[in-house]
Every structure is written in structure tokens, then in C-alpha cells.
Structure 1
């Protein structure tokens, strides 16, 4: 599989944090990049934004972030894989990052753009020992309370229950990733089972690996949902991941705390004035509403299970191999 890379500048380090996004998500990835550098000012990694079919340009006002832009030409590599309506094959781009950048980077931390970084030593995270595993990730929130829950994709493919991760944050060991032929195996499965696949590469990764991955603390990918948002405020994770279709910048019914929307809005107006500003909700989630009561009950009933899950990670840099 031939991949061509055209970079805006040479690599400065052997480690990189990489976002894959188009113009629509560029402001959110840029804010996350700024937050990462504020959290780890003395860093030993590059921050990159990779794209393929839909090129991006950063405003001059963000030149201080020194973001490396990567045009990753994957050709027809992902043809035949399942696509949601309106999506391009760029949704699979993270699969190809280790092969595309194997001469430049030993470790790659892939991050979705719909995240909010609060803290964390990202240099230390990228140095964690993963053993022989090709990648490390955080368990998907469907297994936070019920670790043995069988993912729907596994049911469709007739696979047994196994630890299942969320692919929004992936720490990739480039050598082990390449040695395991993970890219080729994922593409082969995706073409063979296109009619039975759900969504995109998260299910390809999990179906191929079947638990052969290292587990990170949820502090690095706190999947923000109605069932865990209050625990999030108490625990103070490093990275909040806005999973699902609801996002703080298009929060029409006030489901998110205003602090997220206000921060995104200030950043967009300062650096991306032509980008649509955040929606202003009609009202915030009422404290006496049905949804609020349901969330409180859900948190109460799941508190012991969440406590057991968090207890598996004595520190934020604990890795379960």
C-alpha cells in the first residue's frame, strides 16, 4: 500500500500528536492543540493536522502553535470500505498514520477534534510502556459499568465478547503497529464485511484486535455522556471527548455547561471569523426537569460500578497491558 505525504515543515521530534480533520472541524482541533501546549509547555512532540481529500489552512494568528500540516495521499487504499452518508474516506485516515509516518515518528497519539483538553502531561503519556501491544486506548463507555458487555459489532460478526475501546484517542507504537500488519488486516476485514460493519474504523480496530491492546486511564478520553457527566466534574479528567452527535458548539437545547460554548465561541471569533459561531441555546438544562432527574438517578445507580472501573487505574499514567 503506497502512501504519499507532503508536509508543511520537517518533523522536529520522534513523537507526534495528530488530528485528522477537514475545514469544518479545524477550529476545534486548533483549540485542542493550543490547550495541549498550555498543558505541556515543555514538550518533546510535534502537533500535526493530517488531511487527504479536503485540505485545510491555518490562520496566521495561530502560527505560534507551530502546527505541522500533513497532506496524506492514500490513493484508493480505502475503497470498498463502508461509509456513512456525506462522509469521505478521510474517516479512515488514522488507520494509515503509522505507515505513512514510520520514518519520522516512533509514537503517534491520534486525537479526535471533538475534544476539550483540561490538563495532563502528554509527553509522559506518550512515553508509557505498552509492552508488545500495537496501540493503547481507553475502554469505550459501553463497558465502563459492564466490562463484559458484548459490543454490537462483535455480535454482528459473530465474535466473542472482548475489551472494546473508543478510537477517539489512540496511542500508537509505530514499530509494533507495523509489525502486526494492523492496517492491512483492518482494510481486508472492512472490505470483506462491509455490509455488516457499523460506522467506521473503531469497529475495524476492535474486531481485528479482539482485546490485543493496552488500556489507558479514562482520564485521557472521558467520553462525555448523560450517564457520566457529573462524575466528570468531580474527577477532573485530562481530556473530555464529546461523543455522539451533540457538541457544545451546536447545543440548541442547553445540554452542555455554558463554559464549553463560551470558550469555543471566543476562540472561533478570534481566529476563524468566517466559521459559523456556536449556537446559543434557548435555555439551559433545568435543574427540576425530567432529564436532570434521570441523570441523577443513573449516576446514583452506577456509582459503585464506576468506582470499580476508576479503581483499576491508581494513577493517570497506569497502563493495563
Structure 2
């Protein structure tokens, strides 16, 4: 059984269905338990989502979260308070789960995930990717801002494999609250900043071009001569395409070429 976690509000139900469709279509031999943490999704939306998951012979487990849990945490731009829920998920998930894969709903899965899901944590709490093309310049700034001079990098939380056994022992909500309160004016990508500041030395890095491909990067590299990681490489090697940023493939004016993958699973 593969456990998947998503945290979201009602606005992200349509892309969530596309993400789940892509997950199911490319992992037809797997059984999934889908856990969603939410605060403001209607009963009707939950029922329709449950029926959608059941039609694929998979299981959905909604988990209601009191919005007061992170009511004082900063949110801005297109981010919502639900982004913090992944940091507290170990307190809500069943005790018998030893690992779970968190996925942002603005992702499509285009290849099997089994090998990644069963990766060796090597005693780390999390497995994640840097978006190396965008963080190289910002790394020094992030280290100064978050006071992590020895950090290996700055990791994106959109794809986050979680070692629940160790997280239950080492991740404390009071530490997260304290960091947010002390640094709220410094937070740029709030939940991501928390993860990188508090657990930078307990994250195992993996290749972002395979396990968290930023769709914005493709628009840059396709303009370069002899560019690596072209479309055929992505089709064969990439597992997760992540539509980061404010421009999303379900918007009418989206022009990114990798939006074709989203459209494919939206139609299916």
C-alpha cells in the first residue's frame, strides 16, 4: 500500500483530481491510500472526491483540521494556511503508517513512483529536491535569512517523502510555532522556510529533474543550444512535474509547453 498526503482548500479540488488521475493511470498495479487534510471543503465536494477515488478502486481518507491550528501563521500571495498542515500531519495520520508521500495538488505524475516511494531514508526525516536552477543564486541569501550556514541546499516541499516513524519523535509543533513567531517578517515561502530552517540537516536530497521538475525551468532550457532534459528525456525519466508559481496549467492564459501533460490527464 502506498500512502499519499495532500493538503488543500476547495479551490484546488479540480487540479487534485487531475493529479490523482495521473497518479492512478501511471501506477495501475499499485493500491493507494489518499489522505487529504483540509479545513474548508464542503461535504458535497468530499463526497464527489470520494466517488472519484473509488471509481479508480482506491481509498480516500479525509482529515478535518481546525483552522485555528495555524491561524496566526503568515500567508500571502497565492499561499494558504493549508500549506502548513504537512508540517503537522504526523499528529493526524494513523499511528501505523511508517511513511507517506506528500504531493502538492499542482503536480502531475507521469511515471511509476514505487522506486521513489520505497527509497531508503538513511536516517533522515524527509526526502526532497532542490530546484537547483532557481536556488543557486538564492542559496547564500537563504542561509543568512534562515541562519543555516551549513545547509546542503534549499528544498522544495511540493514533493516530500516523509519518514513518519522518526518525524513523530523529532518534529514538535511548539518548535514550529516558535520559529514562525520569531521569524514571521523574514518568511518568503513560509512552510518551506520552516522545513529548511528547522530540519535542513535531516533532509535527504534527490534529483529535482526526476522527482520535482519545475515546469518553469523547461521554458528556459528549451531556448538553450544542446539543452539537457528535453521533452523526450522528461517523458522517460521524470516522475513528478510541478507547476510552481502563480501561473497554472488550468488557467486559460497558461502558455507553458509542459502544460500538455496536465491537459492530457484532465481530459482522461
Q: Shorter-chain TM-score: what band? A: 0.7 to 0.9
Aligned to 1:54: 41
Contiguous gaps of at least 5 residues in structure 1: 1-12, 268-321
TM-fit CA distance, 1:125? 2.0
The answer on whether the counterparts of 2:32 and 2:59 sit within 8 Å (CA) in structure 1 is no
Could you tell me which of 183, 187, 190 is aligned with 1:200? 190
1:220–1:183 CA distance, 2 compared to 1 (3 A): farther
TM-fit CA distance, 1:222? 0.8
Q: Secondary structure at the match of 1:77?
A: helix
The answer on whether the counterparts of 2:22 and 2:265 sit within 8 Å (CA) in structure 1 is no
Q: Secondary structure at the match of 2:41?
A: coil
Aligned to 2:220: 227
Task: Name the TM-score, length of structure 2 as normaliser.
Answer: 0.81
The answer on whether the counterparts of 2:10 and 2:40 sit within 8 Å (CA) in structure 1 is no
TM-fit CA distance, 1:71? 2.5
Task: Name the TM-score, length of structure 1 as normaliser.
Answer: 0.69
TM-fit CA distance, 1:156? 2.4
Cα displacement string for residues 253-293 of structure 1 (whole angstroms, at most 9, x for unaligned residues): 633356246436535xxxxxxxxxxxxxxxxxxxxxxxxxx
TM-fit CA distance, 1:118? 0.9
Q: 1-side partners of 2:206 and 2:213: how far apart?
A: 11
Q: Secondary structure at the match of 1:249?
A: coil
Contiguous gaps of at least 5 residues in structure 2: none
TM-fit CA distance, 1:130? 0.5
Q: Secondary structure at the match of 1:248?
A: coil
Aligned to 1:38: 25
The answer on whether the counterparts of 2:248 and 2:254 sit within 8 Å (CA) in structure 1 is no
TM-fit CA distance, 1:87? 5.2
TM-fit CA distance, 1:48? 2.7
Cα displacement string for residues 185-224 of structure 1 (whole angstroms, at most 9, x for unaligned residues): 2222012211221132011100112232111232121111
The answer on whether the counterparts of 1:114 and 1:242 sit within 8 Å (CA) in structure 2 is yes
Q: Secondary structure at the match of 2:250?
A: helix
Aligned to 1:116: 108
The answer on whether the counterparts of 2:104 and 2:158 sit within 8 Å (CA) in structure 1 is yes
Q: Give the number of aligned pairs.
A: 251
TM-fit CA distance, 1:247? 1.4
Q: Secondary structure at the match of 2:185?
A: helix
1:29–1:228 CA distance, 2 compared to 1 (3 A): farther
The answer on whether the counterparts of 1:82 and 1:199 sit within 8 Å (CA) in structure 2 is no
The alignment's C-alpha RMSD in Å is 2.7
Aligned to 1:18: 5
